[in-house]
Structure 1
């Protein structure tokens, strides 16, 4: 891809929409467009429950910042996102798609993710800042990326920052899609984007908190009980103070507390795990959480769930090995991330099922239509020849 220089880096005029009435008017207008670009800002670093704080929408004619914290009813914009006749361009859409559905019930149809395109084109750096610099010679200043977007009023410099993110996505997508067509991969990305548009935020309210704690699987049941008790206390404090749990006290502090298991405030202070401020504010609750975890009856101690590895036929490891050789060589030829061609989970499913026809390959769980069309014959050839003892070079078969 050739670098394209762009002279005008100035922020175009933008409009702030902060009322239901103005949102309804805007939705009616933007619903006539064929392509729109979308970005959003959230506050996951500053509050207990993260939320969408700003939605940026740009077209060739308009550039708006929608304020969902002031608009009580966001339903007016939902039909625009659900309209399959409008292409919605995002960059790194996964989090945005989940958040829009979680907060507003918004579903996105006809998605095009420019970050995903970059991955399919073999770009080493796929962040928006790096991509715009390389392809459009545009420099984005990301210094406000981790600021508190829930504050109101937002400073002018943060509004101007937000107004820049979406406006370049339409020309960027046009350039990238042209390259995709040249490499005959546009249909691949479209199918992946269709799947991406259906992702949803996880709801794990009934699951133990320790399941999301790194290293929990190595703890004994008794230590798991202490960990769960500490995590519940931290979550309760975080919710009360409306702050992210990690800003109450860190995971590393929790790990240290589990190792020491202080039963008194004096012991907790002596171990110097918490800062003086944290100790004064939360020390008593931490000690109580440790005691509660240690008092858990033996028959109620938590057990970290372990998935038993499936019993595989003897040929499966060999099929996996040869599929990987083929996959990695194909990735080199196409200049693509190997995981896009066939990730480990999919290779495992294929190796276990051992489909020897295109029809059987289509029945493999999670395989995409584009993968079958582009690589189906190669995959079947690998599987059919696995019983041979020759050396497999991944491109020409066995030699």
Structure 2
């Protein structure tokens, strides 16, 4: 087993940056976070590999300023796996590529049956990677040597994997598809915060009544604030199911809450005053939440379309198999050709005059890439027109 050393200071970063700047070709980058353990999504280990330079492991918290590394490699093409997961953590540190290649996304476009990093490395290079530490707490210090080897292997083969996948993209005529997808990932910015994030509480659908929902809102908020303060994943303090159990039990005293066996979690008793205060605040709230989340621009579930918007239902049912068939022809998952959400939106609110051009414009406005529009707009337009001409359709019955 190779012996890896973690770089923890500015001097080490500068030396590594100089070596990486003198390396050759593409740069492989990966990030290890502590998801499920910490509140934040910050990077707790950054791995970088470049031919002619080697593998370098960086400990972000003590280093702080990654400017020298960005200067050394920022202008090169980076190779990442599932880049959308790693880019936010990298950007927090001022690290961002000019262009990049995403091996997971490339594998999806190529129709690989398995797209996890270990599977893609094995399928392309025949090398089996142990994934024993993928769910580890990477905020642990010191990091065990076995974890460091695992982390190093995540980037050691990534450039070779990229080269194989790039060749497959060329063979299948999908190089431009991939280039547009990679650019879209780089350009994508974080979504706006949810208007009512507390409604993500697992099991909330079992809670009835606006007053009980107000208690849920206050408990979720109290846990979120404490989790952020402690930098601990909220569910490790008090699990969702425990919060819901407390809401459903409707305890009348703090002692009754403390005695509720379903109210579990490392902070369920040590912070009992916090949770009881939240319950009381919910019960005293004057602004009660609605029984259901505010609609915003969320579409109703497709199963409800036949009653609520039968024309849209007909359009969706006509276009969906067309898109699925095209994806099958291209040898890729349907959601990579066109996400179901985009198809639903254009089916729900199509342009007034349906044509490949107007459908293309609608898809473009919704964020579809040009290659996706080229592959789907004609078929969707034809399907929409057909949906109102078939015997028994809404338009046919109305006439």
Task: Please give the range of the TM-score, normalised by the shorter of the 2 chains.
Answer: 0.7 to 0.9
Whether contact under 8 Å (1:262, 1:290) holds in the other structure is no
Number of residue pairs aligned between Structure 1 and Structure 2 = 375
User: 1:325 aligned to 2:321?
Assistant: yes
Task: Say which of 332, 335, 347 aligns to 1:336.
Answer: 332
* Structure 2 gap ranges (5+): 393-399
Q: Aligned to 1:288, what secondary structure does the other structure show? A: helix
Task: Say which of 233, 236, 261 aligns to 1:247.
Answer: 236
What TM-score do you get using the length of structure 1 for normalisation?
A: 0.84
Matched with 1:5 is none
Matched with 1:55 is 46
* Matched ranges for 1:356-367 at <5 A: 356-358=355-357, 361-364=360-363, 365=365, 366-367=367-368
Task: Say which of 66, 73, 95 aligns to 2:65.
Answer: 73
Q: Which moved more, 1:318-327 or 1:376-385?
A: 376-385
Q: Render the CA deviation track for 1:155-196: whole Å, top value 9, x for unaligned.
A: 222221211110111111111111111111111111111111
The Cα shift of 1:233 comes to 2.2
User: 1:293 aligned to 2:285?
Assistant: no
Task: Say which of 140, 161, 175 aligns to 2:150.
Answer: 161
Whether contact under 8 Å (2:258, 2:269) holds in the other structure is no
Whether contact under 8 Å (2:8, 2:60) holds in the other structure is yes
Task: Say which of 86, 100, 105 aligns to 2:94.
Answer: 105
Whether contact under 8 Å (2:346, 2:359) holds in the other structure is no
Whether contact under 8 Å (1:87, 1:110) holds in the other structure is yes
The Cα shift of 1:313 comes to 7.6
Task: Say which of 187, 195, 204 aligns to 2:176.
Answer: 187
Task: Say which of 201, 205, 212 aligns to 2:200.
Answer: 212
Q: Which moved more, 1:222-231 or 1:329-338?
A: 329-338
Cα root mean square deviation, aligned: 2.9
The Cα shift of 1:65 comes to 0.9
Distance in 2 separating the partners of 1:60 and 1:276: 47
User: 1:237 aligned to 2:236?
Assistant: no
Distance in 1 separating the partners of 2:266 and 2:318: 57
What TM-score do you get using the length of structure 2 for normalisation?
A: 0.84
Q: Aligned to 2:121, what secondary structure does the other structure show? A: helix
Whether contact under 8 Å (1:358, 1:372) holds in the other structure is no
Q: Which moved more, 1:115-124 or 1:130-139?
A: 130-139
Matched with 2:81 is 91
Task: Say which of 122, 130, 137 aligns to 1:141.
Answer: 130
Distance in 1 separating the partners of 2:252 and 2:77: 59
User: 1:197 aligned to 2:186?
Assistant: yes
Task: Say which of 70, 90, 103 aligns to 1:114.
Answer: 103
Whether contact under 8 Å (1:114, 1:176) holds in the other structure is yes
Whether contact under 8 Å (1:229, 1:293) holds in the other structure is yes
Whether contact under 8 Å (1:40, 1:55) holds in the other structure is yes
Q: Aligned to 2:12, what secondary structure does the other structure show? A: helix
Distance in 1 separating the partners of 2:21 and 2:49: 12
Whether contact under 8 Å (2:45, 2:58) holds in the other structure is yes
* Matched ranges for 1:26-41 at <5 A: 26-31=16-21, 33-41=24-32
User: 1:368 aligned to 2:359?
Assistant: no
Distance in 2 separating the partners of 1:200 and 1:24: 29
Higher helix share: 2
* Structure 1 gap ranges (5+): 1-9, 392-399
Distance in 2 separating the partners of 1:105 and 1:193: 19
Q: Render the CA deviation track for 1:107-128: whole Å, top value 9, x for unaligned.
A: 3321111111111121222111
Whether contact under 8 Å (2:20, 2:73) holds in the other structure is no
Q: Aligned to 2:61, what secondary structure does the other structure show? A: coil
Q: Which moved more, 1:112-121 or 1:211-220?
A: 211-220
Q: 1:104 to 1:201 in 2, by over 3 A?
A: farther
Distance in 2 separating the partners of 1:219 and 1:136: 54
